[in-house]
Structure 1
Amino acid sequence: MSAQTELYKEKKKRHVICMASDFFYPNTGGVEEHIYNLSQCLIKRGHKVVVITHSYGKRIGIRYLTAGLKVYYLPIRVFYAQCVLPTMICNIPIIRYILIREQIEIVHGHSAFSVMAHEVSIIGKLLGLKTVFTDHSLFGFADTSAVLTNKYLQMCLCECDHCICVSHTGKENTVLRAKVKAYKVSVIPNAVDAYSFTPDPSQRDSNFITIVIVSRLVYRKGVDLMAAVIADMCPRYPNLRFIIGGDGPKMWLLQEVREQKGFQHCVTLLGSLKHSEVRNVLVKGDIFLNTSLTEAYCMAIVEAASCGLKVVSTRVGGIPEVLPESMIYLTEPKVGSVVEGIEQAMKDLKTNKILCPFECNKKVRDMYNWMDITRRTEIVYDKISLNKNKSLGLQLRSYTTCGVWPFLLVITLMYLLLQLTERIYKRKHIDIARDLKL
């Protein structure tokens, strides 16, 4: 076995990867953390990684993060929900310049919502690069927003070399809505730094049962359900305390319930939290509550389990795949069912029918390790790097399969603009960036 490992190390190819997304630091969230941690681990394993995103306030230009991770904050203004306007053609010169300057081989886009990820991937494909896309979310098929997003995703993934989903449910969803071939989709979950999210039982208040919620306060996170559960349980259980971290457009609902019902003593609203502050909030709790209505993979419940909390969560999307039954109570997204799940967790806490917090941390560390996720992603990179590029004619023909013929005209225009840019600013005149050696 060791001989095979040594042989793999000898054959391991160094990749030059561009992570592209509208969502990156200083913004915080699951996608941002995923890109950052995956990039750090890829750099540790000898690969070169750069990140392309849009500007955040005064953060414009090139910045270096830990381990020499280079980030290009492009001077592009945000259009809606941290995403840039999908012009498809306006950013061609600067994206082409970066891809050539950094000698990129693989473009890895993240999030179906991200316009930047799709634009960089399509431009990279027209330049002959390999492309990978990671889908972090689940979408429906009925409402107008989902239909438009799904069609846009289908158009953009026509020529993608490989897709990655964070759960098997997410894979099924992506295959159906984006019409991607199933053999071109791999399931690689998110991970958590279990050494940063360690238990500390001494922080818990033995006089109360504390339920912690850390979430963006938006509709799809089930804030309405969360408010109804709080309104139902607080009057019946005087020793129950809720600590809620996070902010969003649904914050007003929790504030309203808290004020109208007089729950100031048992409901604490912390507002927006930095990711570095989350662990200090989690260790104060006995139970972690997640009321999401849709979720491909929930990082919050993994972080909570790593801190030794008993998790109560709605049974939606890919959540049943994330944690073993001994670490989670799954409920239906209904008030009565969620209340029953919390009551069962409270009963088990009183009778001590729970796993040791440090044992939970060890299990999470074994299940979701960033270096393991990185090795699995490397296999995808190695696989697509062996594929031969299609001719331009075959590439353009692939875009006709999405059923939106005007999009073929857009792709053709993008290709012509790339050729024009090559005439104006030739490849040989672009200075190649030196690798930063720490």
Structure 2
Amino acid sequence: MKPLKILIFAGYYFPFRGGYVESIHGLVNRLVKKKYQVTIVTCNVYQSSLEEFIDGVRILRLPSWYALNKTYPIPKPTITFLRIIWDLWREKYDIISTQTRFFPTSFLGAFLAFIKRIPLIHTERGSCHSVVQSRFVDIASRLIDHTLGFFIVRVARQNIGVSKAACDFLKHIGAKHISRIPNGVKLISSLSNEEKRKLKEKWGFSSKDYILLFVGRLIYAKGLQDVLAIIPSLINEQPNLKLVIVGDGQYSTDLRKLQTNLHLGKKVRFLGLLQAAEVEECLQIADAFVNPSHSEGLPRSVLEAAAIGLPIVASDVGGTSEIILHKKTGLLFQPKDLKTLKAYLQKTLTDRLYANELGSAARKHLEANFTWKRIVQSYIDLFREVV
């Protein structure tokens, strides 16, 4: 079977950074290397070029609003928008793919697939209704999931959940044909003690600093406020502890206020958005990883932490338990359970041998189940089924 021409609708893509984008790009970059032609239609929230190629992937950006405090991209129905959609209408594609049910781009993709009778594959990267602070937004998001989301998953020839929890959520919103294909990740090389010392110095840390790392968007649903709340008591037991935060988002201001109110000062460092190579360096200098999220599909940051063999403490949400087998490849706690979160972080701080055993087991588990070679082949097999 010859390589196919695939049209993907994604709410975000480069230059936006985050697990959603990195997971999509990791897949399409490898499909392009296998001679597939891939076009991605996304929202232009950073005033980027309307069209460009990155690693052989064609990117078309729709003029867009950035609603809900820059968390929800919505295409603008401008002349440019209509021209791009008209051009897509005239082109021939073998498969249309949509990424996550609540983005307006996913509805556009599903509608185009429905009208043109092109096989649609929908990938769901969430595992529950959106976790938000606003009651109004919560109601609106649930309404979208059960109307536009329902339409998308019913039009789809095949639905993909990135975790078992995502598959269960697809059933909840009405999907019929469901497969599980997880996100992939590459293995990351660990460093010798001397290499780690030098890299820590490069980032402004002492070799004696114990680095607890978080990587992700700074939004309420990521739960980072829960970690900040217990850092003072952890510092009393481990004075060299440093919480390092990689990422940005609209909740950043609230987290910095919390840092100030708790008098954490230089014990917490916000590094902001980083390039992929810089994130990898942060993983290499870290001593442990924490993911306190209240909602996940299959968290890429946890996959990356496992890829280098870090001891991981994470909330048991979404597909996290498929990466972290409790007390075997990491430690799981219920979201917002600060008492257990603190106890598990204390365990990784004080029992380094146990922590290292967890990290080593996590890497082996990841290598056996989440490598890109396996995941890409699963997608190719699915393409052959639906075309």
How high is the TM-score relative to the length of structure 2?
0.86
Cα distance in 2, alignment partners of residues 97 and 257 from structure 1: 49
* Cα shift at 1:310: 0.5
The amino acid across from 2:142 in the alignment is V
Letter in 2 for 1:343: Q
Superposition pairs of residues 91-240 of structure 1, within 5 angstroms:
94-101=84-91, 103-140=92-129, 143-151=138-146, 152-176=148-172, 178-181=173-176, 184-194=177-187, 197-202=188-193, 203=196, 207-240=208-241
- The change in CA–CA distance for 1:171 and 1:339 in structure 2 (over 3 A counts) is same
The answer as to whether partners of 1:166 and 1:187 remain within 8 angstroms in 2 is yes
TM-aligned CA deviation for residue 150 of structure 1: 1.4
Q: How does 1:299-314 map to 2 (within 5 A)?
A: 299-314=300-315
Aligned mates of 1:99, 1:355 — CA distance in 2: 54
Is 1:329–1:345's contact at 8 Å kept on the other side of the alignment? Answer: no
Q: Say which SS state the counterpart of residue 347 (structure 2) adopts.
A: helix
1:345 is aligned to 348
CA distance in 1, matches of 2:2, 2:210: 52
Q: Which residue number in structure 2 is paired with residue 417 of structure 1? A: none
Give RMSD over aligned pairs: 2.6
Shift of 1:190: 0.4
Residues 96 and 123 in structure 1, CA contact (< 8 A), matched pair in contact too: no
Task: State the identity %.
Answer: 21
**How far apart, in 2, do the equivalents of 1:159 and 1:357 lie?**
41
Question: Quick one: which amino acid aligns to residue 154 of structure 1?
Answer: F
Measure the CA separation in 2 of the matches of 1:36 and 1:353.
32
Q: For residues 36 and 374 of structure 2, what CA distance do their matches in structure 1 show?
A: 15
Q: Take 1:348 and 1:358, find their aligned partners in 2: how far apart are those partners?
A: 15
- CA–CA distance in structure 1, aligned partners of residues 144 and 78 of structure 2: 15
Distance verdict in 2 for CA 1:257–1:61, change over 3 Å:
closer
CA distance in 1: counterparts of 2:208 and 2:163, whole angstroms: 38
Residues 291 and 336 of structure 1: CA distance in aligned 2, closer, same or farther (over 3 Å)? same
How many residues align? The count is 365
Q: Which residue among 62, 73, 84 is the counterpart of 2:61?
A: 73
Does 2:19 match 1:30? yes
Task: Find the aligned partners of 2:218 and 2:325 in 1 and give their Cα distance.
Answer: 26
Match of 2:377 in 1: 375
In structure 1, what residue type is equivalent to 2:182?
P
Greater Cα shift, 292-301 or 135-144: 135-144
In the alignment, is the contact (CA less than 8 A) between 1:200 and 1:307 conserved in 2? no
Given that 1:231 and 1:257 are in contact with CA atoms closer than 8 Å, whether structure 2 keeps it comes out as: no
Partner of 2:381, secondary structure, is: helix
TM-score of the pair, normalised by structure 1? 0.76
- Kept after mapping to 2: 8 A contact 1:199/1:357: no
Greater shift in the superposed pair: 106-115 or 151-160: 151-160
Q: What are the ranges of 5 or more consecutive residues in structure 2 without an aligned counterpart?
A: 198-205
Which whole-Å CA distance do the structure 2 matches of 1:65 and 1:125 have between them? 28
Q: Secondary structure of the residue that 1:234 maps to in structure 2?
A: helix
The change in CA–CA distance for 1:263 and 1:56 in structure 2 (over 3 A counts) is closer
Match of 2:334 in 1: 332
Indicate if the aligned counterparts of 1:118 and 1:156 stay in contact, CA closer than 8 A. Answer: yes
Relative distance call for 1:112 and 1:276 in structure 2 (3 A) is farther
- Provide, for residues 111-131 of structure 1, a one-character-per-residue CA deviation record: whole Å limited to 9, x for no partner: 223211220221122112111
Q: 1:357 to 1:140 in 2, by over 3 A?
A: closer
Asked if 2 retains the 8 angstrom alpha-carbon contact of 1:233 and 1:339, the reply is yes
- Greater mean alpha carbon deviation, residues 322-331 or residues 24-33: 322-331
Q: State the 1:363 CA deviation.
A: 4.6
Structure-1 separation of matches of 2:127 and 2:76: 21
Contact 2:185/2:304 (<8 A) preserved:
yes
**Structure 1 counterpart of 2:190, one-letter code:** P
CA 1:217 to 1:266, structure 2 compared with 1: closer, same or farther past 3 Å? same
Give the distance between the partners of 2:340 and 2:3, measured in 1 at CA.
50
Structure 1 residue ranges, 4+ long, deviating more than 4 angstroms after superposition: 85-93, 356-363
Q: Which has the larger radius of gyration?
A: 1
Q: Give the Cα separation in 2 of the matches to 1:92 and 1:268.
A: 44
Unmatched tracts of structure 1, length 5 or more = 1-11, 386-438
Matched residue SS, 1:270: strand
**Deviation readout 1:139-162 (Å, 9 max, x if unpaired):** 239940332121220123322111
